[in-house]
Amino acid sequence: MSYFSTVPQAPPDGILKLSVLSRADSDPSKVDLGVGAYRDDNGKPWVLPVVREAERRLNEDPNYNHEYMGVGGLPALTDGAQQLIFGSNSPAIGQGRVYTIQTISGTGANMVAAVFLKQFKRPADAAVYISKPTWGNHRSIFETAGHEVREYKYCNYKTLTLDIDGMLDDMRSAPEGQIFVLHACAHNPTGIDPTEEQWQQIADVMSERGHFPFFDCAYQGFATGDVDRDAYAIRLFVDRGFELLVAESFAKNMGLYGERTGCLHAVCQSSDVIPQVSSQLNRLSRATISTASAYGAKIAATVLQDPRLYEEWLQSMQDMSQRIKTMRDALRDKLVALGTPGSWDHVSQQIGMFSFTGLSKLQVDTLRNQYHLYMTDDGRISVAGLNSHNIDYVAQSIDAVVRSS
Amino acid sequence: FTSRVQPVAAARCLSAWAQVEMGPPDAILGITEAYKRDGDARKINLGVGAYRTDEGKPYVLNSVSKAEQSLLQKSLDKEYLPITGHAKFTTAAVELAYGNGAADNASVLGRVAVTQSISGTGALRIGGAFLQRFTAGKAIYVPTPTWGNHGAVFRDCGLKVAGYRYYDPSTNGLNLGGMLEDIRAMPKGSLVLLHACAHNPTGVDPTPEQWAEIQRVVEENEHVAFFDMAYQGFASGNVDRDALALRSFVAGNKAPVLLAQSFAKNMGLYGERVGCFSVVGADAGERDRLLSQVKILVRPMYSNPPVHGARIAGEVLADPGLRQMWLGEVKEMAERIIRMRAALRSKLEDLGSKKSWNHITDQIGMFCYTGLTPQQVDRLAQEFHVYLTRDGRVSIAGITTGNVEYLAESIHKVTKD
């Protein structure tokens, strides 16, 4: 009898299951609005010109090799990433109270944060609060690390806007000193972000209750097209004197997806605790991956450190976010023009890669089975999957399905 | 925005991290830093865990470079890989490890559940997490000594870590009797970590006959064999020879086999983090079941693995011309190491050293456990500018035709009394 006979079959990953179905569908009108990767107006993956340029330079460098990086990662990347997130004039950086470790993209940064917090959080029984809803992997990452995970209200499912009162209520009524996972910008999956005033209220309440902020920042520059605007919430909290952790990903904003390039930043109250905090982050990362991957880090560092490439990159992010905004507005306008029942303003008001359409699971299934339109069961669409060639078809399909429900 | 710097709530007047203890210092890092600070022209760094040419330089393999250039020409995208990684790479990696010759081998390849991993460390971590989840209450046994990071990886997985006797300091060789005794003494069904070849840090490998005895005892006691193979091809120069122990356990079809595979050294892909974790299932159906659970473990760790290094390794393994070139380069690296071992030993003997230095050439792979004491190691650093770890471990890759003589003289001076 096999040693492994008692190992049960695990359920397949929901989102990936969707892409398997989508790939198997050969209908010419098929539209994939599932996976969260940017697509150009022809529905193709887009490798940023600055990334190609950085690759070219790397490969032409006679000193280019594949040697190990240190446990902390590539300094040119971690330094550049710090400045990008916190601002080059950030007093926190100047005071030497930020430590940054390179990670396997955003997921890896979340994982390192989760493991670190499990070991060192105070109180030791602090729960981790995630938004309802949130990225599917958040719960899994924090539960795997051994935390109790709870939800805070976030999305008003009727209006598909932020339930700020519910969110603040949950923060006030939670025991003191809990950990809150906050999306820095371009909330996944809803696309609903707090306004600057709402962020200030959130900071007020978190400060009153002594809560610890963990920011997940996967879309800086990709949300509004402006890296400083997109970092508003993080910088506000730093300014207010919070200690915090930030998971940063270059998957979307630099299109480095599969190169797995990211960082975890720890902002501490003073530089005094940096030696021990950094030693523990390094220790735990060493026991999971030893060091993060070099290639994507070198590309990102090249872009961050070269002024001309950096400017071009900012422009590319504006272009990507602008195309997405255009598609949002177009979808909303077409649905309104078709007279599709319901309100569709949320589609253009939401921000970032995703839109929470408000479509029901039944409607989602119908769209998939009859119209070859793929989106996740919660009605989330990847707006990047929309383009000038398919937008009419998508609007008409949604219209048809909503009317017949 | 308003620059209203407020102190955070009373509960957090002190840093949240004030009570965080300082982590353990990194022994190897300390060596490297001392070496860097040393201004003496004769200085030698024998702590390095990466291959160096006879000029003491990092080596980018030609086969790797060619593969990378050819990939660059294709202007591929950077889309996410699946959770289990680049299929062209993992398929080829499995064949490389488990063999692709015999007719019955097809049945093995068809039942191996494999995922790309963050090099060898990542593979060990996935394996440790897998074993922790599905083999409740078992401890994992590692050889004494073993790679410094094994304990940390497995403890962080929630496994208890214990040791089995392995290295005999009196012979600088294998303590087979002690090893077999300890394996027999483990509770039935224990997890046994085995270095497939080129044991790190000692360089002491069992002979094929000794491996057969080890296998028998592991099988008799229904233990699980978790192989760490970080040096396939790099030990003897021949990839099949270096995988003999692994393949023999698989052919035995008794002990469950897991494998952590690294391409850091044998392809020089170090920082690109290229590796695989695999488990041999009973059949294809079990393979699918095991793989489904491996994916559940990987997703909250890092979602999916890095694409670049895997594409390179996939090209090198799958393209016949590149593969031949690679096999030749691995052989050359292994042979340079073997030459340096021979040179060091013969120079020590020529200097009239009374000590026995056979172990330098008996041992295999990147590392040599010299038998030097911590005091001797300290003297080597302070008086002779020769840097190695205090357990007496030398990275042979740091030895060159240019420095072997000075190295032999230095070692002789600190050991002749």
Cα separation of A391 and B48, whole Å?
57
- Give B227's DSSP letter: E
pLDDT averaged per 10 residues, chain A (length 405):
88 80 92 92 96 97 94 97 97 97 98 97 96 96 98 95 97 98 97 97 98 98 95 98 97 98 97 94 96 97 98 97 96 97 95 94 96 95 96 98 94
Q: Does residue B187 belong to the interface with chain A, where contact is any CB pair within 8 Å? A: no
**Residue whose pair of structure tokens reads 């790679």 in the numeric block:** B147
- Give B11's DSSP letter: G
- Exposure of A208 in the CB half-sphere (CA atoms within 13 A): 12
Of B82, B308, B61, B298, whose CA–CA distance to A296 is shortest?
B308
For residue B137, the model assigns a pLDDT of 67
Cα separation of A134 and A181, whole Å?
9
Q: What dihedral do alpha carbons B370, B374, B377, B379 form, nearest 10°? A: -140
DSSP A309-326: HHHHHHHHHHHHHHHHHH
| Contact criterion met (CB below 8 Å) for B242 and B232 | yes
- Chain A residue with minimum CA distance to B289: A9
What six digits make up the tokens of B271?
């920082």
Q: What does DSSP say about strands B44-45 and A373-374: parallel, antiparallel, or unpaired? A: unpaired
Q: Does residue A269 belong to the interface with chain B, where contact is any CB pair within 8 Å? A: yes
**Which residues of chain A neighbour B69 with C-beta distances below 8 Å?**
59
Rg (CA), chain B: 23
**Which residues of chain B neighbour A232 with C-beta distances below 8 Å?**
1
Q: Which residues contact A42 (CB under 8 A, 6 or more apart)?
A: A387, A389
Cα separation of B198 and B338, whole Å?
12
**Which residues of chain A neighbour B302 with C-beta distances below 8 Å?**
104-105, 107-108, 111, 260, 289
For residue B3, the model assigns a pLDDT of 37
Cα separation of A172 and A202, whole Å?
10
Cα separation of A85 and A248, whole Å?
8
Cα separation of A201 and A237, whole Å?
11
| Contact criterion met (CB below 8 Å) for B262 and B242 | no
A175: preceding bond cis by omega (within 30 degrees): no
| A125 in catalytic set | no
Q: Using 50 as the pLDDT threshold, list the residues of chain B that sit under it.
A: 1-12
User: Are B118 and A280 in contact (CB < 8 Å)?
Assistant: no
For residue A397, the model assigns a pLDDT of 98
User: Are B308 and A4 in contact (CB < 8 Å)?
Assistant: no
Cα separation of A113 and A107, whole Å?
10
Of B149, B166, B189, whose CA–CA distance to B24 is shortest?
B149
Q: What does DSSP say about strands B224-229 and B393-395: parallel, antiparallel, or unpaired? A: unpaired
| Contact criterion met (CB below 8 Å) for A90 and A238 | yes
| B189: closest CA of chain A, how far (Å) | 9
**Which residues of chain A neighbour B192 with C-beta distances below 8 Å?**
none
Task: Write the single-letter amino acid at A330.
Answer: A
Cα separation of A242 and A186, whole Å?
22
SS3 A119: helix
Identify the residue among B278, B301, B304, B395 best suited for mutation to test binding to A, counting A beta carbons within 10 A and taking the highest.
B301
| Contact criterion met (CB below 8 Å) for A347 and A325 | no
User: Are B286 and A4 in contact (CB < 8 Å)?
Assistant: yes
Cα separation of A32 and A44, whole Å?
11
DSSP A205-241: HHHHHT-EEEEEES-TTTSSS-HHHHTHHHHHHHHTT
Q: What length is written for chain B?
A: 417
For residue A405, the model assigns a pLDDT of 85
> Is the pTM of the predicted complex or chain greater than 0.90?
yes
Note which residues in 272-291 of chain A have CB less than 8 A from chain B.
272-273, 275-277, 279-280, 282-284, 286-291
- Which among A66, A111, A277 has CB closest to B269? A66
For residue B11, the model assigns a pLDDT of 39
**Which residues of chain A neighbour B307 with C-beta distances below 8 Å?**
258-260
For residue B6, the model assigns a pLDDT of 43
Note which residues in 197-236 of chain B have CB less than 8 A from chain A.
224
Q: Which residues contact B163 (CB under 8 A, 6 or more apart)?
A: B141, B142, B143, B144, B146
Cα separation of A145 and B398, whole Å?
39
Give the catalytic positions of B in this structure. 147, 228, 265
Assembly ipTM:
0.96
SS3 B45: strand
- Give B136's DSSP letter: T
Q: For residue A81, give the H/E element and its range.
A: helix A75-86
Cα separation of A228 and A196, whole Å?
13
- Chain B residue with minimum CA distance to A51: B78
Q: Does residue A183 belong to the interface with chain B, where contact is any CB pair within 8 Å? A: no
| Contact criterion met (CB below 8 Å) for A38 and A256 | no
| Contact criterion met (CB below 8 Å) for B130 and B293 | yes
